[in-house]
Chains A and B, each alone.
Chain A
Amino acid sequence: MSQVNSLEEIQQIRQSADRVLATRHAEILTTTRAAIAEVLGREEEEVTPHASLMTDLNAESLDFLDLLFRLESAFNIKIPRGGIQRATQGSLTDAEFQQNGILTEAALQRLRVLMPEVDPARFKPGLTAREIPLLFTPETFARLVAWRIGESETGS
């Protein structure tokens, strides 16, 4: 698959999420923040929409596993594991996606489309694949939920 196609595919993910968030953003974000608060043993007020789960709230990968299960049952959806990372790479080959762990410009471009809730300046050259989860915020997970809701609504 060509790179143009793969960007189209990621734009579909983006649009699918945007469409759902247009009407349900507040509700999805509230439920998502509550789930995060419960997983991390925090007060909901601490879980601000743009807090980094890992750097601000001390989450680790285990907490993400727990969170995804909770979101799946709260919203009655299926979330593919490693979904964000996999969607980011999409049809890019490993070499097109990263070199020595450092994300390529093509990968960064995809991230900017996929994660509009993150300040685009944070997707700067030199960012590594392993650092992507550091960017995850409650808004990221709300968007992930919205994408899955959007997909299930269109039956794909």
Chain B
Amino acid sequence: MRFLLIDRILELVPGQYAIGVKHPAMSEDYFADHFPGFPVVPGVLLVEAMAQLSGRLITYSVAAEAAKRPGGESEAKVLPVLLTVNNAKFRRFVRPGDSVLIRSELLALSEDAGRCKAVATVNDVTVASAELMLGFEAGGGSTIIPPEARARIASWAEEVNRALLTGARVGPARADVKEQT
């Protein structure tokens, strides 16, 4: 099983929010044990999905901030890692075939961390929610991620992000700027 828990990002507004979607399929390995005859998406995987979406929201929010500085467009993209989870609540079971919509809102952003509130819904009903803090190294430093792994993770992140964001509505931060390819 790959560990990509967002299938697509539908909308991403740097500095504000992102919306992503996940369709857990019956073919996921974990359904065999969670639970036999009663497949339910584990709550921790919903939190991970929230973290993955929130991390991308933070990455692009930091990049949007950097772009306001002269020469900031060329700064390395930050790689946020999950630091805290608060107030996680699992209200409803999520079943295979459900379309899980996750919305993450950026509550605060500092030089080295971002805080997000994420809500997962299925058919407009809230199934889970949590507050997450993710940390990152400004300017591609290496105090969190080991320097020898950094380049590889960065290129992987770029590839995954490009796929996730294909067809996404990214803006309005981008709408008033010339579309970049």
Residues of A within 8 A of B (CB): 62, 65-66, 68-69, 72-73, 80-82
Question: B115 on the interface (CB 8 Å rule)?
Answer: yes
Closest to A78 in B: B110
Contacts A73-B107, A81-B110 supplied; 9 other A-B pairs, CB < 8 Å: A62-B84, A65-B112, A65-B133, A69-B107, A69-B110, A69-B115, A80-B111, A81-B112, A81-B113
Q: How far is the CB of A79 from chain B (nearest CB, A)?
A: 8
Residues of B within 8 A of A (CB): 83-84, 107-108, 110-113, 115, 133, 135
Chain A residues contacting B112 (CB-CB under 8 Å) are: 65, 81
Q: How far is the CB of A133 from chain B (nearest CB, A)?
A: 15
Tell which of A66, A69, A72, A82 has the most Cβ of chain B within 10 Å: A69
Q: CA–CA, A68 to B115, complex, Å?
A: 11
Closest to A68 in B: B110
Chain B residues contacting A81 (CB-CB under 8 Å) are: 110-113
Partner of B108, one of A62, A73, A80, A82: A73
Could you write out 12 A-B pairs with CB less than 8 Å apart?
A65-B83, A65-B113, A65-B133, A66-B83, A66-B84, A66-B133, A69-B107, A69-B108, A69-B110, A69-B133, A73-B108, A80-B111
Chain A residues contacting B107 (CB-CB under 8 Å) are: 69, 73
Q: CA–CA, A82 to B113, complex, Å?
A: 12
Q: CA–CA, A44 to B112, complex, Å?
A: 28
Closest to B108 in A: A69
Closest to B113 in A: A65
Q: Are A62 and B110 in contact (CB under 8 A)?
A: no
Chain B residues contacting A62 (CB-CB under 8 Å) are: 83-84, 135
Q: CA–CA, A66 to B110, complex, Å?
A: 11
Chain B residues contacting A68 (CB-CB under 8 Å) are: 110
Q: CA–CA, A41 to B113, complex, Å?
A: 21
Nearest first, the 5 A-B pairs at minimum CB distance are A81-B111, A65-B113, A69-B115, A81-B110, A81-B112
Partner of A72, one of B83, B84, B108, B133: B108
Chain A residues contacting B83 (CB-CB under 8 Å) are: 62, 65-66
